[in-house]
Structure 1
Amino acid sequence: MAAKRAKTGAAFPRRRRVAGIINGTRLVVADNSGAKEVMVVGVIGVKTRLRRLPFATVGDMVVVTVKKGPPDMKGQIMRAIVIRQRKPFRRPDGTWVAFEDNACVLVTPEGTPKGKEIRGPVAREAVERWPQIANMASIVV
Structure 2
Amino acid sequence: MEVHLEPSSASHWVSQMGAVINCADNTGAKNLYIISVKGIKGRLNRLPAAGVGDMVMATVKKGKPELRKKVHPAVVIRQRKSYRRKDGVFLYFEDNAGVIVNNKGEMKGS
Interval of TM-score (by shorter of Structure 1 and Structure 2): 0.7 to 0.9
| One-letter amino acid of the structure 1 residue matched with residue 52 of structure 2 | V
Tell me the equivalent position of 1:102.
96
**Is 2:25 the counterpart of 1:31?**
yes
| One-letter amino acid of the structure 2 residue matched with residue 40 of structure 1 | I
**Is 2:61 the counterpart of 1:53?**
no
Tell me the equivalent position of 1:76.
70
How much identity, in percent, do the aligned residues show? 48
CA shift, 1:50, in A, is 2.1
Q: TM-score, normalised by structure 1?
A: 0.68
- Greater percentage in helix: 1
In 1, Cα distance between equivalents of 2:13 and 2:101? 22
Question: Any runs of at least 4 consecutive aligned residues in structure 1 with deviations exceeding 3 A, and if so which?
Answer: none
1:31-89 per-position Cα deviation (integer Å, ceiling 9, x unaligned): 11111111100000111212210111100000001100012222211000011000111
In 2, Cα distance between equivalents of 1:72 and 1:92? 40
CA shift, 1:22, in A, is 0.6
Higher RCO structure (Cα 8 Å, ≥6 apart): 2
Tell me the equivalent position of 2:105.
111
CA shift, 1:110, in A, is 1.3
Tell me the equivalent position of 1:21.
15
Cα root mean square deviation, aligned? 1.4
Q: Which segments of 5 or more consecutive residues in structure 2 lack a partner in the other structure?
A: 1-10
In 1, Cα distance between equivalents of 2:36 and 2:28? 21
SS in 1 for 2:18: coil
CA shift, 1:94, in A, is 1.6
